[in-house]
A and B are shown apart, each in its own frame.
Chain A
Amino acid sequence: MTINRRDFLKKAGIATGGGLLASPMPAQAFEYFPGWPERFGALIDTTLCIGCRSCEAACNEVNNLPPPKVSFEDKSVFEKIRRPDAQSFTVVNRFPNPDPGGRPIYVKRQCMHCNEPACASACLVSAFKKTPEAAVIYNQDLCIGCRYCMIACPFSIPAYEYDNAFTPKVRKCTFCYDRITKPGGLPACAEACPVEAITFGKRSELTKLAWERITANPGKYVDHVYGEHEVGGGSWLYLAAVPFDHLGFKTDLGTTPYPTFTRGFLGAVPLVLAIWPAFLVGSYAFSRRRERVAKTEDTNQQEEEASS
């Protein structure tokens, strides 16, 4: 089989172009990344949640987490606001209804699985990975335990095994990565929910569904899908009947993906690396020259004095 240059170029062109077309990332990926198109998501309708904590129990079971200190049937946990920790990747909190007479509102919390995760951008050993299926997953074999991911996470989700002396790990919701990547697989919490407060599916369809519910039920929901655009958007979306800041959500996070905040600084690094050596070595050369000139002037002066 022979191949001439023209053929080769043609084939190479097709291969490259085809590669670009097949690539799930748009060409201007570094400017704007709208997220993996086929990624999954989950929609939580807080108006449906009854606070039964079945999701917590299911999560505990599939992740082989230690048995809870307080049983999953015990409602006393609602007396204070909890956050996910190393023993529980998801927690349900209860908030009083601002409407007098309204029933309390239950809100499940877990990792939001951001489109552009702050934790992943913060990790100095790339222990976090954003998968095309949406899950942000963690590799404990790389983690050195600096806990910068926990500083960076705008939702304060990652937790640490502070009492583990030899193999401490960052713990957080995995979006049941192993389950959802199998055909028909659901996250354990969504499967366990008896009232279908959690809908699992393609994120693109879930945002549509969320807005359909808002428009179909005027007055029922606030006009916002939390998680759709917060910090660049994530895969977990929320609907609520009362403003989100009443339900423990941070509403001042903005829509800028967090990795953007350090991009400018990291971009300046090569500039410093390129300009500083020239500046510093230049200063060194100038100071050497100054010395040399001063020395010759000195000797000239001495010679003049000697000759006069």
Chain B
Amino acid sequence: MTEQMAQKPTFRSWLQEKLFLGKTTSEYLKGLVTPFNIIAGLILAVGIPVTVIRFTQGLASVTNLSDTNPWGLWIGVDVLCGVALAAGGFAIGTAVYLFGLKDYHSVVRPAVLTGFLGYFFVVVGLCFDLGRPWRLPYPMFVSYGVTSVMFLVGWHVALYLSCQFVEFCPAISEWLGWRNLRKWLVRLTVGATVFGAILSTLHQSALGALFLLAPGKLHPLWYSPFIPVFFFISAIVAGLSMVIFEGMLSHRIFSNQIDHHHHATFDRLTVGLGKAAAVGLFSYFCLKWIGVAHGNHWDLLNTPLGHWFLVEVFIFVLLPCFLYVWGVQRESAGIVRFTAILTVIGIILNRVNVSMVAFNWDVVDRYSPRWTEFVVTITIITVGLLTFRWIVNRMPVLYTHPDYKEEY
């Protein structure tokens, strides 16, 4: 009895420290009333009922999907953009752990967390879109469609999600104070990074390869046998740009968590990431033109969709490439950050073009998303941001845990 009495407060204080940030319950709850949370609450107030309708009434009740347009906003944005923008986890992990760019160590954890949560919410988004989401494990355990690019995507996203989780586990074990487990997990990091890089190469390109089966439906300026390479290279650029963008936000919002040392080197790292992104964008720009030349589609450039293609390639690929170079030359983290935002918009535009604008471009029955589709997408992003904040406020993501400093 006395023992139990003694244990109870410890558990409660543990809970308070780990979950309520060392505040009492009422303090913590009061602290939740912030403008961001109120907006998030309003979004959820619309998003949750729409979710309930989706899963009880079917896809037709909330989407404009049709037999002619089986994929819409959820595949185009939640899945295709989500996966591309979450590529930072593998790109930075590979650079630091495998290529030995140790000075970028401070951005690994936020990048891996962004990657892990990005993929996690891609799967959540996918569950909205799948007709029978509870059969998600079927390609893993029940029936194998080995001739399908989608089969590869399914397996890889599942395995990669596990890899990113393993890569992030040291942060979780530091938070919970599990020293021995952490030691084991850290040893897995290099292996998980190698495996993660292989999986990323394949599934990032596979998302593009999905469209190889739609030569008659995707506009020739976007359809190319090189589309897997387009998707892969642009995903690396998108991932790097997201790391810059996410770093910018984190340094504003969570600035109290960040070490002085990290603050000082942050601008230099941002410029370095910009340099890598510039190189990536330039090769992506060249590849896009090789695609046009390979299909000999020059005549299509002077059509309405051709003009749109030029906008995508010049304003959202070549322009950010030059801006990155300019920012790197002037060592201006500000220019690099602005360019990162432009680049992210450009990659989103590309995925939207491939999956919606240039897809079924010649049919009468064109698709445009219904408002409830936007609601679901915004709700998923909001829940993703809330989860990111919840973790960053508790686990050593943006700073090095004081107990483990000597190990880096």
Binding site for B on A (CB under 8 A): 83-86, 118, 120-127, 142-148, 150-152, 154, 156, 158-165, 167-169, 250, 252-254, 258-259, 261-262, 264-266, 269, 272-273, 276-277, 280-281, 283-284, 286-288, 290-291
Contact = CB atoms under 8 A, between A and B. Distances in A.
Nearest to A259: B147
A152 B214 contact: yes
A147 B152 contact: no
Given A127-B143, A142-B142, A148-B210, A284 B131 contact: no
Nearest to B132: A145
Contacts, number: 175
Given A276-B198, A287-B98, A262 B63 contact: no
Contact of B209 (A83, A167, A262): A262
A160 B70 contact: yes
Contacts of B41: none
A280 B94 contact: yes
B98 A164 contact: no
Interface residues of B, number: 60
A237 B43 CA distance: 53
B230 to A, nearest CB: 12
B201 A261 contact: no
Contact of B58 (A164, A276, A284): A164
B215 interface: yes
A44 B190 CA distance: 61
Contacts of A154: 216
B61 A163 contact: yes
B213 A261 contact: yes
Interface string B69-98: 011000000000000000000000010011
6 contacts: A121-B148, A123-B148, A125-B145, A127-B145, A144-B139, A290-B100
Contact of B130 (A121, A142, A145, A156): A145
B59 interface: yes
B276 interface: no
Nearest to B96: A287
A151 B139 contact: no
A272 B100 contact: no
Most chain A CB inside 10 Å of its own CB: which residue of B55, B59, B144: B59
Contacts of A118: 213
A160 B94 contact: no
B213 A284 contact: no
Contact of A126 (B131, B144, B215): B144
Contacts of B190: 284
Interface of B: 55-61, 63, 65-68, 70-71, 94, 97-100, 129-133, 135-136, 138-139, 142-145, 147-154, 190, 193-194, 197-198, 201-202, 205-206, 209-217, 225, 228
Given A265-B206, A276-B198, 11 more contacts: A121-B148, A144-B130, A144-B133, A160-B65, A162-B63, A163-B58, A164-B131, A269-B202, A272-B198, A277-B198, A281-B194
B18 to A, nearest CB: 34
Contacts of A290: 100
A257 to B, nearest CB: 11
Contacts of B136: 144
A118 B100 CA distance: 44
Most chain B CB inside 10 Å of its own CB: which residue of A84, A121, A126: A126
Nearest to B131: A145
Contacts of B129: 146
B183 to A, nearest CB: 19
A160 B145 contact: no
Given A163-B61, A276-B198, A284-B194, A151 B143 contact: no
Contacts of A273: 198, 202
Nearest to A118: B213
B132 A147 contact: no
Nearest to A282: B98
B207 to A, nearest CB: 11
Contact of A124 (B60, B150, B197): B150
A288 B136 CA distance: 40
B214 A125 contact: no
Contacts of A83: 67-68
B213 A283 contact: no
Contact of A122 (B68, B148, B202, B205): B148
Contacts of B71: 147, 151
A280 B210 contact: no
B213 A265 contact: no
Contact of A283 (B58, B98, B131): B98
Contacts of B211: 151
Contacts of B206: 265
